[in-house]
Structure 1
Amino acid sequence: MHVGIDFTAGAWQGAGIGRYTRELISAILAQSSTIRFTLFYAAGFPGASPPPYLHEVQRLCTSHPHTRAVPIPLPPRRLTQLWHRLRLPLPIEWLTGPLDIVHAPDFVAPPTRARTLVTIHDLSYMVHPECAVPGVAAFLRDAVPRALQRADVIVADSESTRRDLHRLLNIAPERVSVVYPAVDERFRPLPPDVCEPVRQRLRLPSRFVLFVGTIEPRKNLVRLLEAFARIDPTTLPDGSGRLFLVIAGRRGWMYQPVFEAIERLSLRDRVQVLDFVADSDLPIVYNLAQVFVYPSIYEGFGLPPLEALACGTPVVTSDNSSLPEVVGNAALLAPADDIDALSDRIARLLSDGALRDRLRQAGLEQAQRFRWEASARQIIEHYHSLSTGASHEASTRAFR
């Protein structure tokens, strides 16, 4: 069996789908010594800067002899235009050779004669179009229905996304397989001697509430800032009167209102905005936080709350979309549009040591339910099912 995997997101994107792709494909390769893999990816124009996670492609190919890489000498945007906007019938097999299966971890698959497995992470661009980049939303509205029509297997990140596919795109639930993302083993409770050097290097405060994610409207950061501003740190048991909010994530789109809110609420001295945090530092930053808050308006899954739970950090998150599915009974929930409720939940966790301890233990247990090895096994089962059903059709399938 020969499986081609679109690794473009894994090669270029730091968070979100990029991390999902790297973690899942690494786990799949580790369990599939009898399957041949080709990782194809947009590599950028010749002579331009290489993808920031090219080393991950190289590591996977070096670690797994049954895996090779095929760089495509175009940047991701240009490749998307060729395959999905102009719809040029240039099958990926022209570059990779014959494939039995094409695995597309990022919404759409390239033209191919092979059977396809396509992952849909969320339908946020339909549920909350006001939070999406207009050009990206327009592309997904056009490309995703076509990808779903052609897909042999549709994978969703959660039951919530499976319901959205049925409700918004009329995809029969039985066509959709839920394969949960997971949390890597490096996200775990860590001792102070490991954490303190990173606190000093990143200049993190001694006591802080943490948010991790892209700075964009869907993450609901303006309401988080308003909720944080309502907490009087002098009333908290610590007694120091000092409490900070740390926002760890790159600026995405329409991020200006977040920085305007920091000024409007006079929080400049109490809010620290980090840029993207390196993967090696992220578990430590979770460990250092007193509380992790993720007030998102909508998520197809939401890795950061799960990562925080795995690190033993108490979590407050929204009660919408997939988030209750992810955190179970191990976090405090609040409506995304209720600033008072969000502020109350944060203050409760900061004030109630017994509640923090209970949620810390529940969070560690909840996180154990989501392992990349289990997710990889589900995908591998789909590979075998597709391969068994595709062998007699391979020579006659039209480009799709």
Structure 2
Amino acid sequence: MHIAYNGWFWDTPTAGSGQYIERLLRALRRVEPSLKLSLIVPPHNPNPQNVPEGVEVVTTGNGGSAGKFRKVWFEQRTFPRMATKIGADIAHVPYWGPPLASEVPMVASVLDVIPLIYPEYAMGFFNRLYLSLVSTGARGANHIITLSNTSASDIQEWLHIPAEKITTTYLAPDQQYHPQMGREHDKAVREKYNLPEHFVLYLGSFDRRKQINELLLAYTYVGQAEGENIPLVIAGREPKWRQPLFPNMRQYAEQLNITDYVRWVGFVDEEDKPSIYRLADVFVFPSVYEGFGLPPLEAMASGTPVVAWEASYSDEILQEGAYLVDSARSMAGAIIALLLQKPFHDTMVNQGLAQATNYSWRKTATETLIAYETALSGSVANR
């Protein structure tokens, strides 16, 4: 089988779609070495880095920018045409951006439908137009891959795609997320980000659904008990704070009078994430909606207890591996209990490690191959 991949997000490890395609291709090479895999890259990235051995790079030009209109042109015209030209059996767009038409059977990974559920994520004329375009493209795809049954249900509801055209393939933490592996780097990471000896960690983005406001509110309680000794470390590239998508969390921390207990460390390099998870006493993930929710699973695999918001994705993915809460007050209680009660802390560490072992990229790759076979057989049947 010959699969062609849309490589628009290759070499963008900070984007979920970029991480997804790189890890998927590596896993597919291990699971089924006989596959022919082609990575079709846009003109602005003619020399992609870290491409797995055995994956053919197909260029479509040399130079240019990665602007919005160039992205649409690549998705709608360049990629499907090139997939046909190289004789691919399947064309896979590893994010929500499938073309309206393709001669090659099309598989699209719709990681979530957040812009449909939360309209503030698709504000502006171009974004609304693009959302309409890729939604129509998804309905016309031969098969949809998503990352959780939660997302699969949302895709059925919001995109009106039947269940038989959707396959769930869970993500997994990479092997470097481990309680021991790589510990020799922990000291350097602590110094690099000026991390205290003990701290509670949030690592992620800052849009409204992440509910950083609930975490800060929780720390008004935690801070009274342990704030001076165990501050809250907030990691991630800060946005331009503006409503409605990015309410100003620094300002909110000042209003709550907890700035003495909160440290903002900014962007964390990918190679440093395993260490920063391991160094934390507790990892907190208050997001109300995710297509999957990989950060808390990475923290679990690193041996750090997790407190997460109770929601459909956390009930499905995290289960008993995390302590699930539904308010700032209960979040604070869980954090304090994990900090002060070692038996409870150790129990949650062990439950988290056990839950993390249920996920692997080998399993993801195997289930993805089944989705390809389904798309191919359905395409043949419809001819």
- Corresponding residue number in structure 2 for 1:47: none
With over 3 angstroms needed to count, the CA separation of the structure-2 counterparts of 1:230 and 1:392, relative to structure 1, is: closer
How much does 1:81 deviate?
A: 3.2
How much does 1:391 deviate?
A: 6.2
Among 143, 165, 168, the residue aligned to 1:175:
165
- Corresponding residue number in structure 1 for 2:210: 219
- Corresponding residue number in structure 2 for 1:153: 143
How much does 1:34 deviate?
A: 1.8
With over 3 angstroms needed to count, the CA separation of the structure-2 counterparts of 1:125 and 1:199, relative to structure 1, is: same
- Corresponding residue number in structure 1 for 2:21: 21
**Contact 1:70/1:95, CA 8 A, preserved across alignment:** no
Q: Which amino acid aligns with 2:192?
A: R
- Corresponding residue number in structure 1 for 2:233: 246
Q: Which amino acid aligns with 2:203?
A: V
**Contact 1:131/1:216, CA 8 A, preserved across alignment:** no
Instruction: Report the Cα distance in structure 2 between the residues aligned to 1:138 and 1:204, rounded to whole angstroms.
Output: 41
With over 3 angstroms needed to count, the CA separation of the structure-2 counterparts of 1:77 and 1:391, relative to structure 1, is: same
| Structure 2, gaps ≥5 residues long | none
**Contact 1:190/1:284, CA 8 A, preserved across alignment:** no
With over 3 angstroms needed to count, the CA separation of the structure-2 counterparts of 1:368 and 1:333, relative to structure 1, is: same
Q: Which amino acid aligns with 1:244?
A: P
- Corresponding residue number in structure 1 for 2:49: 55
Q: Which amino acid aligns with 1:31?
A: V
In the alignment, is residue 357 of structure 1 matched against residue 353 of structure 2?
no
Instruction: Report the Cα distance in structure 2 between the residues aligned to 1:107 and 1:315, rounded to whole angstroms.
Output: 29
Written as runs of structure 1 = structure 2, the 5 A alignment for 1:170-209 is 170-190=160-180, 193-209=184-200
**Contact 1:11/1:18, CA 8 A, preserved across alignment:** yes
With over 3 angstroms needed to count, the CA separation of the structure-2 counterparts of 1:311 and 1:96, relative to structure 1, is: farther
With over 3 angstroms needed to count, the CA separation of the structure-2 counterparts of 1:135 and 1:348, relative to structure 1, is: farther
Q: Which amino acid aligns with 1:184?
A: D
How much does 1:320 deviate?
A: 1.2
Instruction: Report the Cα distance in structure 2 between the residues aligned to 1:122 and 1:331, rounded to whole angstroms.
Output: 22
How much does 1:88 deviate?
A: 5.7
| Structure 1, gaps ≥5 residues long | 45-49
110-119 vs 244-253, greater mean Cα deviation: 244-253
Among 265, 268, 281, the residue aligned to 1:274:
265
How much does 1:121 deviate?
A: 1.0
Q: Which amino acid aligns with 1:376?
A: A
Q: Which amino acid aligns with 1:11?
A: D
Residues paired across the two proteins, number: 375
**Contact 1:214/1:251, CA 8 A, preserved across alignment:** yes
Instruction: Report the Cα distance in structure 2 between the residues aligned to 1:67 and 1:14, rounded to whole angstroms.
Output: 23
**Contact 1:42/1:76, CA 8 A, preserved across alignment:** no
Instruction: Report the Cα distance in structure 2 between the residues aligned to 1:176 and 1:69, rounded to whole angstroms.
Output: 28
How much does 1:187 deviate?
A: 0.4
Q: Over aligned residue pairs, what C-alpha RMSD do you find?
A: 2.7
Instruction: Report the Cα distance in structure 2 between the residues aligned to 1:384 and 1:81, rounded to whole angstroms.
Output: 27
Q: TM-score, normalised by structure 2?
A: 0.88
**Contact 2:234/2:262, CA 8 A, preserved across alignment:** yes
How much does 1:126 deviate?
A: 1.8
Q: Which amino acid aligns with 2:21?
A: T
- Other structure's SS at 1:242 match: coil
Instruction: Report the Cα distance in structure 2 between the residues aligned to 1:101 and 1:169, rounded to whole angstroms.
Output: 22
What is the aligned-residue identity percentage?
27
Instruction: Report the Cα distance in structure 2 between the residues aligned to 1:226 and 1:172, rounded to whole angstroms.
Output: 41
- Corresponding residue number in structure 1 for 2:56: 67
Instruction: Report the Cα distance in structure 2 between the residues aligned to 1:144 and 1:38, rounded to whole angstroms.
Output: 23
Instruction: Report the Cα distance in structure 1 between the residues aligned to 2:265 and 2:85, rounded to whole angstroms.
Output: 40
**Contact 2:84/2:103, CA 8 A, preserved across alignment:** no
Q: Which amino acid aligns with 1:26?
A: R
In the alignment, is residue 381 of structure 1 matched against residue 375 of structure 2?
no
With over 3 angstroms needed to count, the CA separation of the structure-2 counterparts of 1:315 and 1:135, relative to structure 1, is: farther
Q: TM-score, normalised by structure 1?
A: 0.85
Among 214, 219, 222, the residue aligned to 1:228:
219
- Corresponding residue number in structure 2 for 1:372: 361
How much does 1:328 deviate?
A: 1.1
Q: Which amino acid aligns with 1:349?
A: L
In the alignment, is residue 319 of structure 1 matched against residue 310 of structure 2?
yes
